[in-house]
Amino acid sequence: MLITGGSRGIGAATARLAARRGYDVAVSYLSNEAAARELVTAIEADGRGAIAVRADSADPVEVSRMFERVDRRFGRLDVLVNNAAMIARQSRLEDLDHERVRRIFAVNAIGPILCAQQAVRRMSHRHGGRGGAVVNVSSASARLGSPNEYVDYASSKGAVETMTTGLAKEVAREGIRVNCVRPGHIHTEMHASGGEPGRVDRVKDSIPMGRGGAPEEVAQAILWLAGPEASFVTGTFLDVTGGK
């Protein structure tokens, strides 16, 4: 299993759970090398294979090299989890600068497409592959719009959802299932990047279940979609939002 943006939060929780379920794991990271190395060490201590690869998922050259590293280390790819994403400071739409929007779409929307291309070339029956699964990580904001905070982020996640639908239909007869998880308000470090580390606690009363989610709860959904229990599931969106 390859998990992009796997050094922290939902990605790291998914890596740990995947290893417990018997997967060897590759995780990509952009800046937090120490966290990625620590995760790899923990997975290896539990008896599974693991590597950490520094890669900007918006850069096609780095994405290609990342998949080549996975090829060399594990010889095959069964699951791609497109998890890498970014947000910026909370802002109204009219105040967004062009470079911010360009970078957010490059990482959040173009990045998953680049990674999915590489995965399909390895998994698809038409390329001699064994089949596999792609799980894209979107956000409830793709449905809700995230007004006054992250309309650009929400829009980029909407693009991921459209890609999920199209790719699922494109490769359904080639042995590849493509699905999407929509996390809601989850306790991760990402909120600090938006300028409000305690955002989940601020909005928890708007969540029907009255609390934010844990990364491990999203990881459970990802592993279900990736695994044989979901063998007849493709092009599907699974909300992990506490009812919101």
Summarised one tens digit per residue, pLDDT across range 156-183 is: 999 999 999 999 999 999 999 999 999 9
Q: Where are the chain's structural domains?
A: 2-240
Cα distances (angstroms) measured from residue 42 to each of 45, 79, 226? 5, 20, 22
Summarize the confidence of residues 97-102 as an average pLDDT: 97
Summarize the confidence of residues 199-227 as an average pLDDT: 94
Cα distances (angstroms) measured from residue 72 to each of 19, 114, 121? 19, 19, 16
Residue 81 above 70 pLDDT? yes
Q: What angle do CA 171, 177, 181 make, to 5 degrees?
A: 125
Summarize the confidence of residues 103-131 as an average pLDDT: 98
Summarize the confidence of residues 96-109 as an average pLDDT: 97
Q: How far apart are CA 227 and CA 111, in angstroms?
A: 23
Domain 2-240 sits in CATH 3.90.1150.10: no
pLDDT band at 101 (very low <50, low <70, confident <90, very high): very high
Q: How far apart are CA 26 and CA 39, in angstroms?
A: 10
pLDDT of residue 191: 58
pLDDT band at 188 (very low <50, low <70, confident <90, very high): confident
pLDDT of residue 230: 98
pLDDT in tens, 22-39: 999 999 999 999 999 999
Summarize the confidence of residues 196-215 as an average pLDDT: 89
Residues labelled as active-site residues: 153
Residue 205 above 70 pLDDT? yes
Residue 194 above 70 pLDDT? no
pLDDT band at 201 (very low <50, low <70, confident <90, very high): confident
pLDDT band at 203 (very low <50, low <70, confident <90, very high): confident
pLDDT of residue 195: 67
pTM above 0.85, yes or no: yes
pLDDT band at 199 (very low <50, low <70, confident <90, very high): confident
pLDDT in tens, 54-63: 999 999 999 9
